[in-house]
Amino acid sequence: MPMKGRFPIRRTLQYLSQGNVVFKDSVKVMTVNYNTHGELGEGARKFVFFNIPQIQYKNPWVQIMMFKNMTPSPFLRFYLDSGEQVLVDVETKSNKEIMEHIRKILGKNEETLREEEEEKKQLSHPANFGPRKYCLRECICEVEGQALPGSTI
């Protein structure tokens, strides 16, 4: 992708993977209501411009909708799978404060992320054989150069 446009660094894989907000599984929809003018919504505008791409990259299962110039004060609303709504006021907050607040209330903690990473590593290890839903390969014969067990050469 050419490095053209406003802040093309936002579209690089390195920048997108630096996001530290991974939502809990209960978060299904996130809406961002902000205004394009005014001092009170400056943090919300920067949040949308710099941090929403990172959140989308880290949380592909979460639907994110943005509403511009439809509210007097900026806020975020999260819809959970239980039907609950979480409302976050972001007026006069910087984009970093918004990210930290979201991570604290709706993000997975470090221990959970570490456990999920370990589980993912164990499942994707190439030496594991078994059913497709648990392992990459069902049989050793799927590896190039390996003979089918029980056959004679």
| 59-117 pLDDT tens trace | 999 999 999 999 999 999 999 999 999 999 999 999 999 999 999 999 999 999 999 88
CB 57 within 8 A of CB 19: yes
Note whether residue 3 is domain-resident: no
Range(s) of the domain holding residue 124: 110-153
Rounded to two decimals, what is the model's pTM? 0.76
Specify whether the backbone of 113 is left (phi greater than 0), alpha (psi in -120 to 50) or beta.
alpha
Q: Do 19 and 78 sit in the same domain of this protein?
A: yes
Beta strands in the chain (DSSP E): 27-34, 63-68, 75-80, 85-89
Q: Do 98 and 44 sit in the same domain of this protein?
A: yes
The domain tally of the chain equals: 2
Residue type present at position 97: E
pLDDT for 151 equals: 63
What is the spatial distance between Cα 39 and Cα 91, in angstroms, rounded to a whole number? 9
Note whether residue 100 is domain-resident: yes
